[in-house]
């Protein structure tokens, strides 16, 4: 576990705050509205993003987690995200995440993200990119 430092002392108890940062859940998340027989929807992919320590040059960095939360046990492939002109001052493994075109980024090289699976990466830019799922393929 990470180390903690005291935040405040109240009476005989001391509160501690962890140095871990919480990732913010994408605002584009929606509840699945399944049609009978449909295995999954793009809402089964959840994206969390949060700020992390900046690069030595001072450029802000952000951690991204992309999770398959499909309740029917499906593997989801062909995950494409809306990502604008996504770019990073920190190299990202293109098999994990890459921009194909404006507003079209591919996750996991198009391969399936297993049920319960999570992919994560960090990028560096002067601002966070809003990321949301544009399409998926259910398998």
pLDDT tens column, 100-132: 999 999 999 999 999 999 999 999 999 999 999
Instruction: Judge contact between 66 and 89, C-beta under 8 A.
Output: no
d(CA 129, CA 27): 12
Residue ranges covered by each domain of the chain? 21-31+38-138
Q: Which comes out higher in pLDDT, residue 31 or 135?
A: 135
Tell me the per-residue pLDDT of 23-33, one tens digit each, with 9 for 90 and over: 455 444 444 45
Tell me the per-residue pLDDT of 19-74, one tens digit each, with 9 for 90 and over: 444 445 544 444 445 455 568 899 999 999 999 999 999 999 999 999 999 988 89
């Amino acid at each position: 576990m990470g180390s903690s430092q005291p935040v405040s002392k109240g009476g005989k108890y001391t509160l501690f705050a962890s140095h871990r940062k919480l990732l913010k859940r994408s605002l584009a998340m929606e509840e699945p509205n399944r049609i009978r027989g449909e295995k999954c929807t793009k809402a089964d992919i959840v994206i969390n993003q949060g700020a992390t320590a900046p690069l030595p040059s001072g450029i802000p960095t952000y951690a991204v987690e992309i999770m398959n939360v499909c309740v029917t046990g499906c593997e989801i492939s062909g995950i494409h995200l809306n990502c604008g002109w996504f770019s990073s001052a920190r190299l990202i493994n293109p098999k994990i995440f890459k921009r194909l075109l404006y507003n079209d980024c591919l996750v996991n090289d198009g391969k399936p993200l297993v049920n319960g699976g999570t992919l994560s990466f960090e990028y560096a830019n002067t601002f966070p990119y809003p990321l949301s799922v544009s399409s998926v393929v259910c398998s």
